[in-house]
Amino acid sequence: MSFSALLRSARRPAALSAAVALALVSGAISASAQAMMRSPTINMPSRVPTLNPGAAMRTPGPGSGIGLRPALPTARFSPNLQTSCSPPDRSASGECLRRPPQTADGGPDRETSNGGRSGKPKSVKAAQRRAPQATAAAGPNIIAGELVAELDGNLSPDQADALARRHGLQRISSQSFPLIGATVGLFRITDRSSIAAVSRRLAADRSVRSVQPNYRYTLQQSAPPAEGDPAQYALTKLRLPEAHRLAQGSNVTIAVIDSGVDLKHPEFADAAFDAFDALGGDEMPHVHGTGIAGVIVSHKRLMGSAPYARIIAIRAFGVAKKGGGPESSSYVILKALDYAALHGAQIVNMSFAGPKDAVIERAIAAVAAKDVVMIAAAGNAGAKSPPLYPAANPNVIAVSATDTRDQLLPASNRGNYVALAAPGADIFLPAPDGKYQIISGTSFSAAYVSGLAALVLERNPALKPETVRTVLTRTARDLGAPGQDELYGAGQADALAAVQAVASPQDGPTVSAAPAAGLPRDEEQHAAPVRELRPASAAAMATGDSPAEGGVRPAQQ
């Protein structure tokens, strides 16, 4: 054997050992307003007398919790905390479907996390961990050229502007959000860099804690139907006239995050409203926001689900383009949730949908921690849509839509996150300028359930959100396949069964798990006469059955 061969033979075990050692060391290290609308001719006698404006309402105050305060006799407009903007390049609303991560040119981005600049660079992986959602390119669910970033709370506005300039950005707005204990800024990309590249550079900055795209949200209404019934069939379906003998939403505050509401509509006369504009500007009231408020507090020609509830009307959706539907964004929705939580909302109605969004998920968790009931539209993207948010968040009650025949609205989303259903097809509602509309969508189903939640909380304000969910789902009337299903959830909501299942505080222990007490799935519901609304009182509550053991009342069928 030659000397070189002997040498190679001697080296092989050592090389193998080194490779094994290296392998062991490496292993160890290693968010569409889709509503259908048409304006019918109305010739209806007044069904309900004017409500008593002196009924006790809940009024918010800065930093207030949940307590009883005097009613607001007229609408009050709150000052805007910080102006935002609607970029001119927003498109008309569409389905909120997630897109695979890519750069603006459609290919992978190869820039480093510090953009090749000098200083103390951080690894690409570290920056990506701080910006887990920031690698997506602009698409239908992302507002082009905008980023939302959590900033060091000690930064002054001038320092935030300097931070933006360092990374080729313009600061649109920034403010402190007590709800999530963070300072969040909205930035626009001023050069041609991709969202992914700028996100990684920004996330690597010591003054930035997290970065994500500014996601787009759309209201959940559908296209106009071929025909519709202008009668309020939802009243009979939900057994609202009977339920209003026990509760009408008094002393309960509902935040409605939506488009602008026509507070001067006759249906809202003497209703208690607070208003906050999270967008800024002078946009006129919109059909969607006015309709959502009408589902809950109408009380002249129409009957709302909780006519004595107090509404915080938060304008968070505006028309970005002529001919397009109202849209909102991560940053504006965060402002809306922050305002609702700080001003005493007990229920938040979210009749909009979008993609899963880290900053909004964080805000919803914070709202849930304050024992606020959150209700959202399941979405109008149809059977093939992935889960939409915020409805798919486990802290939120997701509502699908049914029609006059108790069939699922074809556009309604479905999935195991759907909690229950409510009427949402051809709903007869107020529209701006004193007009009326027939409109469809899961938006309005969610609003009906928000009103039902207010009836439940009027009966017992101490109930936790999970108990309210239990009451609503266990008293629902089963539809579709027996038991829980992906179309109707637990079934169609039943207002009378829900309020009967909850004992008022003076009656004894609160309900913890209400039994199913709604109408049987095959029992026909007969039209109930519309009864006169009257303020909730001990006498009105006394018309119900005596409380059963544990504070649960049996349903009257």
Q: Which residues are catalytic?
A: 258, 288, 443
Element (H, E) at 472: helix 465-474
**Distance in angstroms (rounded) separating the CA atoms of residues 339 and 341:** 6
The answer to whether the beta carbons of residues 448 and 425 sit under 8 Å apart is no
> Across-strand partners of 312?
255, 274
60 Cβ contact partners less than 8 Å away, ≥ 6 residues apart: 253, 274, 312, 342, 343, 344, 345
**Distance in angstroms (rounded) separating the CA atoms of residues 312 and 309:** 10
**Distance in angstroms (rounded) separating the CA atoms of residues 320 and 328:** 9
3-state secondary structure (DSSP) of residue 95:
coil
The answer to whether the beta carbons of residues 409 and 425 sit under 8 Å apart is yes
Q: Report which of 153, 143, 215 is spatially closest to residue 184, judged by C-alpha positions.
A: 153
**Distance in angstroms (rounded) separating the CA atoms of residues 270 and 298:** 10
Q: What is each CA distance from 8 to 2, 3, 13, 19, in whole angstroms?
A: 10, 9, 10, 16
- 149: tokens are 């970033």
> Under the phi-then-psi rule, with left for phi > 0, alpha for psi from -120 to 50, and beta for the rest, what region is 155?
beta
Counted residue by residue, the chain has a size of 557
Q: What is each CA distance from 442 to 36, 200, 204, 397, in whole angstroms?
A: 11, 37, 41, 12
The answer to whether the beta carbons of residues 359 and 319 sit under 8 Å apart is no
The answer to whether the beta carbons of residues 243 and 170 sit under 8 Å apart is no
DSSP 337-381: HHHHHHBT-SEEEE-EEB---HHHHHHHHHHHHTT-EEEEE--SS
- 126: tokens are 């570290």
Q: What is each CA distance from 311 to 25, 307, 516, 543, in whole angstroms?
A: 61, 10, 30, 28
Q: 444 φ, ψ to 5°?
A: -80, -30
Question: Tokens 């959706």 sit at which residue?
Answer: 317
The answer to whether the beta carbons of residues 341 and 62 sit under 8 Å apart is no
**Distance in angstroms (rounded) separating the CA atoms of residues 169 and 28:** 40
